[in-house]
A and B are shown apart, each in its own frame.
Chain A
Amino acid sequence: MSEQLIQSNYRRGVAPLIILGLLRREDMYGYQLVQETEKTSGGRITTQEGSLYPVLYKLEDQGYISSRRVTVGKRMTRVYYHLEPAGEELLKQLTQEYETVTQGVFQIIHGGAENE
């Protein structure tokens, strides 16, 4: 499977889960989310900053996260994202779904469907 397809699958289902999971620890800005994703996953999951923004926009638009601008240094500003209570609930729900699906996929791959 090409790297492009792996990253594509990541975005499709997992990106919101990863973003919400990271923001539960602390507020983060865009590039920090990219760095923490790679570091915390042991390099298994990488992404580029631009790809996060459509996902961040949707999460913020639906009230799961909020954002604030912080001035850094003399000229730079960063936008920090914060997990809202609705986002905490969504994170629990997505985590449960992800665990269920992952378990099911492993059972199929390893042929253990009879042990449900």
Chain B
Amino acid sequence: MNKNQAQQTYLRKVRSYLPCSRKVKNQIMAQIADSVGSYLTEEPEAAYEQIVARFGSPETIAAAFVESTGTAEILRALQIRRRIVAIVAGIMAVVLLSWAVVVTWTAINYNNSRPGTPTVDIQYGQNRTEDGLN
């Protein structure tokens, strides 16, 4: 892994671990990227493991963020996440139900339009073929 790959891999992993909004993540990552870049200017042959030894693992940095976050902020973030999950689940349920209704309606209409087969007349509740009532 060359210098750029080690740096990019490290920064990508740290970014993926940070549990915060994109805006906050960008600001923290800018500082970390700056420092990692400076370190690699002094130690251009540093491998990924050396970057981790100097700056900490991505998990450690994420833990530092969580531990420096107040309880109220964490609870608020959890509440927002729960609301998003509930909304997405609700939308998926509506989409699934709509699909089921459309498929059922299409199946009934298809059956009704086939010649020579008994049809179901939902309005009158009677069996009839193309020739008329049985």
Contacts and interface: CB of A to CB of B under 8 A. Distances in A.
Interface of A: 8, 11-12, 15-16, 30-31, 48-58, 61, 72, 75-79
B14 interface: yes
Contacts of A55: 64, 68
B38 interface: yes
Nearest to A54: B65
A52 to B, nearest CB: 8
Contact of A50 (B24, B27, B55, B69): B55
The 5 closest A-B pairs by CB, nearest first: A48-B56, A50-B55, A54-B65, A50-B56, A51-B64
B14 A50 contact: yes
B35 interface: yes
Nearest to B65: A54
User: Chain B's interface: helix, strand, loop or mixed, by majority?
Assistant: helix
18 contacts: A8-B63, A11-B64, A12-B67, A30-B35, A31-B39, A48-B54, A48-B55, A49-B56, A50-B14, A51-B64, A52-B64, A53-B31, A54-B28, A54-B64, A55-B64, A56-B31, A79-B31, A79-B34
A5 to B, nearest CB: 12
B61 interface: yes
Given A11-B63, A30-B35, A57 B28 contact: yes
A58 B66 CA distance: 11
Contact of A76 (B28, B41, B68): B41
Nearest to A12: B67
Which of A55, A57, A61, A78 counts the most B-chain CB atoms under 10 A from its CB? A57
A8 B74 CA distance: 17
Given A12-B68, A58-B69, 10 more contacts: A8-B63, A16-B68, A49-B56, A50-B32, A51-B64, A53-B61, A54-B28, A57-B24, A76-B38, A77-B38
Nearest to A58: B68
B9 interface: no
